[in-house]
Structure 1
């Protein structure tokens, strides 16, 4: 019997992933396994501490909610979350991964109370490699391979999301569509490889002018779109003018082998209460074509009036 118990304890200690026993109040009751420092940090010091003792309040509240929800539903639940050594008191200098770890948490309620409390088993599996691969695949599906800007598919998804937010919260949202003037002449004169370099350089210029929340997309060929959250029509028009000037003032000598300037024409529109996504795009498109008809190298803002 003693030998069997020793074998059982050895097997539990050798579990590749850490297994936590957590009480309904958020106390670490026990920790078993997960000793490989290539994948995990040693959290044995956590036992008998509470989640709020060792984690930031927002994180501790989230873990506690998962525990209580699992107990209430009385079933196995699976969650994914990121956690780094810097998030957990006592792990700052511990051996283990330097970057945040992405975990899959499998949470199962225990049928019997532990120290007078309901509790769960929480198995935390390192899925960082899988998460990063999924992120790379998502980026590949959303990015234009040549320029690094987002693609049309990503733009439409983002428009759907911002449209829903606008309907609910009425946050101003604008769209800019711009086109490189006479770009066919660049390809004809310098070749398509040089033309590709121009597009890539232009995208880098734009990204330096845009905010982190703005979404720059290659709409097709030499046509691009910028989705501008929390931006009204006047602000969007001002930004479009800055982009127009920045692109027009840049000398593409490095890309083309000689001094050369390129201008852009742009149309700008903003969401209004009676809008659909299609009407927002159409107004920006109309503004672009009006800018081209007006001699190019200008910005036309189109309101819903």
Structure 2
């Protein structure tokens, strides 16, 4: 540990003032007792005007309450308390339209209880580090890992997570949930006759119709190849069927309008609903897949339901 006696009071004050990240001394009641550092002007503004104010003077009630909870947690803990949090200009009192950044700013707070009172109260040292860049990268990587690169729909990984989540909700609350699985009829022939670029265009066009025609609560995903799955929460099979039929018609119209796939580009689909005896989402997906097989066997360009 550094021997502080080697430094004068002035030198220690200069060291604290030179800290790149801001360090706040906050009392249990949420009062800013002192602020040090924050010299990295790329990320921080001068916060000296906060000294003497309380968090409630600066932030809206919900955000101020959250800070108060973190201060209390750090004072109770016998170790460093680390939290991540976001601040937006809407969180700050008195911020006029156009003031402050438009984007949300993310911070990591490292909060340590002090072993002595400050202004008659227990207090913590709160060091705030701007982590917005790393949060943006994290969000980008997560999005890329969950998004199909060709269609920008959810990919298989994201779909399985959504199916698991909604199966758990169904198992608990018996909320009606339907699943449609469909693919493009004669897709291999499209690739063979018109080329793989035409096949990609057909897949992209199908995804565009899904985004345009489905409800905001529906969850479209590309399962792989020319196969798609639509998860329809809070929807019985009876109510999902007209949605599936409308989607079938719109996709056929859209594919036909491309003018590069010949006549009769259509889809076939299988529709099913989560049932009380299901042990996992795989059961409803299997029923929908079986119904899709029957749709192909019965002549294509149709939705077969297992309701």
TM-score by length of 2: 0.88
Q: Does 1:292 align with 2:289?
A: no
Distance 1:224 1:67 in 2: 48
SS in 2 for 1:149: coil
Deviation string 1:17-60 (CA, Å, 9 cap, x unpaired) is: 12122222222322222243421244433333333333233222
SS in 1 for 2:53: coil
Shift in alpha-carbon separation, 1:91–1:17, aligned structure 2, 3 A: farther
Q: Does 1:269 align with 2:272?
A: yes
Distance 2:253 2:109 in 1: 53
Whether the 8 Å contact between 1:268 and 1:302 is mirrored in structure 2 is yes
Within a 5 Å distance, the mapping from 1:178-197 to structure 2 comes to 178-197=182-201
SS in 1 for 2:72: helix
Whether the 8 Å contact between 1:251 and 1:259 is mirrored in structure 2 is no
Whether the 8 Å contact between 1:21 and 1:31 is mirrored in structure 2 is yes
Gaps of 5+ in 1: none
Residue 95 (structure 1) shift: 7.9
Residue 104 (structure 1) shift: 1.2
Shift in alpha-carbon separation, 1:233–1:70, aligned structure 2, 3 A: farther
CA-based RMSD of the aligned residues comes to 2.5
Shift in alpha-carbon separation, 1:260–1:79, aligned structure 2, 3 A: farther
Within a 5 Å distance, the mapping from 1:237-248 to structure 2 comes to 237-248=241-252
Distance 1:54 1:248 in 2: 56
Deviation string 1:33-90 (CA, Å, 9 cap, x unpaired) is: 2243421244433333333333233222222222212222232121212212332124
Q: Give the corresponding residue for 1:104.
A: 108
Deviation string 1:94-144 (CA, Å, 9 cap, x unpaired) is: 986542111111111112222222222211111111111111211221112
SS in 2 for 1:49: coil
Gaps of 5+ in 2: none
Residue 295 (structure 1) shift: 2.1
Residue 91 (structure 1) shift: 5.0
Within a 5 Å distance, the mapping from 1:1-305 to structure 2 comes to 4-90=8-94, 92=96, 97-254=101-258, 257=260, 260=263, 262-275=265-278, 276-303=280-307
Whether the 8 Å contact between 2:272 and 2:305 is mirrored in structure 1 is yes
TM-score by length of 1: 0.88
SS in 1 for 2:68: helix
Distance 2:30 2:20 in 1: 24
Whether the 8 Å contact between 1:237 and 1:268 is mirrored in structure 2 is yes
Whether the 8 Å contact between 1:102 and 1:131 is mirrored in structure 2 is yes
